[in-house]
Structure 1
Amino acid sequence: MFEIVKAGGIVMVPIILASIVAAAIFLERLWTLQGRRVVPAELTDKVWKWVEQNQITDKHIQALQQNSALGKILAAGLANRHRDRAIIKEAIEDAGRHVVHELDRFISTLGTIASVSPLLGLLGTVTGMIKTFNTLSTAGAGNPMALAGGIAEALITTAAGLTVAIPALLAYKYLRGRVTTLVVKMEKEAIKLVHAIEAGAVV
């Protein structure tokens, strides 16, 4: 493996670094974006129990804020439960924007890696072909072994760039889809809360 990396030349260094960063981002986001961590089912049940029994207090709201992404959104609505509907919605939407920003963290970087990796591979292809033509100009075409280094560099970096880019792109699309699903679930719970407040169920 080391010989292959060595044959790929200097461009292999950023490609390998990109692969490490992409893997780290994917694993970290995979852990962070678990449904039970972002939209815990027991939290929803607990909040509606408080609502039904009119037990909402500042202590409950503070606990919600520290619980999860959904908890932050519900806490924003409950903290403004005595105010106008427009203000409640604005508070929920503002909290939602912050939550979505947190959920999206690093995912754009993963998309950038997916876009840049093939270009790094292409750069390696160009440098490899330049090396090949330099060899041709100095040693001629009589020695195939002299040309092999440049050709190997071109092929290895192209393959390495695509090997990083394809999984990174798939991971990017998967994480984007997961964030969208979680946001939809949180929106549904937030709408339920607004309706409950309008109905006078939350005091």
Structure 2
Amino acid sequence: MMLVLLQTVALPSEAPPSSTSFLDILMQGGWVMIPIALLSLLTVYLIVERWITVQKAKINPQQIMDRVRSYVEAGDVRGALAYCEAQDKPITRILRHGLERLGRPIAEIRDAVEAAGKYEAFELEKRMDVLASIAGIAPMLGFLGTVTGMIEAFQQIQNLQGNVNPSVLAGGIWEALLTTAFGLIVGILALFGHNVLLTRINRLVNDMERSATDFIDLLQEPVPHPRRHPETLL
């Protein structure tokens, strides 16, 4: 009985399963994980910031042009300007630049509208090139981390003259592959966000170009009411 008890006490107890947190996994990836983590934060910020900008710029271009057309045909330029200022959208800001130059040569009005359109398109596409760069840089950083990790693993094998436990070698390899996995995740997220945002931005730019063209055509149409009050055009 005493022997059985001693044997029971002498048996090694099972070690509790080790839990690895997400932060620990990131730290095992090496120094390359630091720029990848920074790029991931920058990616999320750019996607959210550009998405909010695009959502604020959304508007019905046909409705805007119908309202501006009604004001211009009635000779109420001040009302058209007040309406555009109240909306404060890229399309209305472009039309406002044209309305402010009514009475000048049509070429000057067209140049002002085109310049305003280019500026608004630039504001919508701002920082999109950074998002596209992250989509290409993040996976490359991941591959770099994997290559440097594999170099260190094989250096350890050489230092130990090949007497390496396979489990230790496998652990070094999966730690080296961590950077590739996280780099690909960040790159895919940046590429997806870039493509989705670019599609919506192109749609907005197309609406702005169409509205600008309609506005110039409106100014070249014959006036339906020849009697106009000069004071309303000031």
Pair in the same fold by TM > 0.5: yes
Aligned partner of residue 117 in structure 2, secondary structure: helix
Aligned partner of residue 209 in structure 2, secondary structure: helix
Hey, what does 2:13 align to over in structure 1?
Answer: none
Quote the offset at 1:40 in angstroms. 2.5
Contact 1:65 1:72 in 2 (8 A): no
Bigger shift: residues 25-34 or 58-67:
58-67
Alpha-carbon distance in structure 1 between the residues aligned to 2:64 and 2:203: 18
Hey, what does 1:105 align to over in structure 2?
Answer: 126
Alpha-carbon distance in structure 1 between the residues aligned to 2:195 and 2:163: 46
Contact 1:118 1:165 in 2 (8 A): yes
CA gap 1:113/1:65 in 2 versus in 1, 3 angstroms:
farther
Map Cα deviations across residues 106-144 of structure 1 (whole Å, 9 max, x no partner).
111100100100110011011111110111111234223
Quote the offset at 1:22 in angstroms. 0.6
Hey, what does 1:133 align to over in structure 2?
Answer: 154
Amino acid at match of 1:49: S
Hey, what does 1:189 align to over in structure 2?
Answer: 211
Alpha-carbon distance in structure 1 between the residues aligned to 2:163 and 2:188: 36
Bigger shift: residues 81-90 or 114-123:
81-90
Alpha-carbon distance in structure 1 between the residues aligned to 2:203 and 2:157: 56
Map Cα deviations across residues 22-71 of structure 1 (whole Å, 9 max, x no partner).
1111111111102xx32423644442332232111299269539811112
1:171 aligned onto 2:190: no
1:144 aligned onto 2:166: yes
CA gap 1:124/1:116 in 2 versus in 1, 3 angstroms:
same
Structure possessing the higher radius of gyration over alpha carbons: 2
Aligned Cα root-mean-square deviation (Å): 2.3
Quote the offset at 1:2 in angstroms. 1.4
Bigger shift: residues 189-198 or 76-85:
76-85
1:23 aligned onto 2:44: yes
Alpha-carbon distance in structure 1 between the residues aligned to 2:74 and 2:169: 80
TM-score by length of 1: 0.89
Amino acid at match of 2:188: I
Contact 1:110 1:168 in 2 (8 A): yes
**How many equivalent pairs are there?**
201
CA gap 1:166/1:103 in 2 versus in 1, 3 angstroms:
same
Quote the offset at 1:78 in angstroms. 1.2
**Match among 40, 45, 51 for residue 59 of structure 2:** 40
1:51 aligned onto 2:86: no
Amino acid at match of 2:178: I
Q: For structure 2, which runs of at least 5 residues remain unmatched after alignment?
A: 1-21
Q: For structure 1, which runs of at least 5 residues remain unmatched after alignment?
A: none
TM-score by length of 2: 0.78
Aligned partner of residue 77 in structure 2, secondary structure: coil
Alpha-carbon distance in structure 2 between the residues aligned to 1:5 and 1:169: 22
Contact 2:95 2:212 in 1 (8 A): yes
CA gap 1:141/1:80 in 2 versus in 1, 3 angstroms:
farther
CA gap 1:91/1:200 in 2 versus in 1, 3 angstroms:
farther
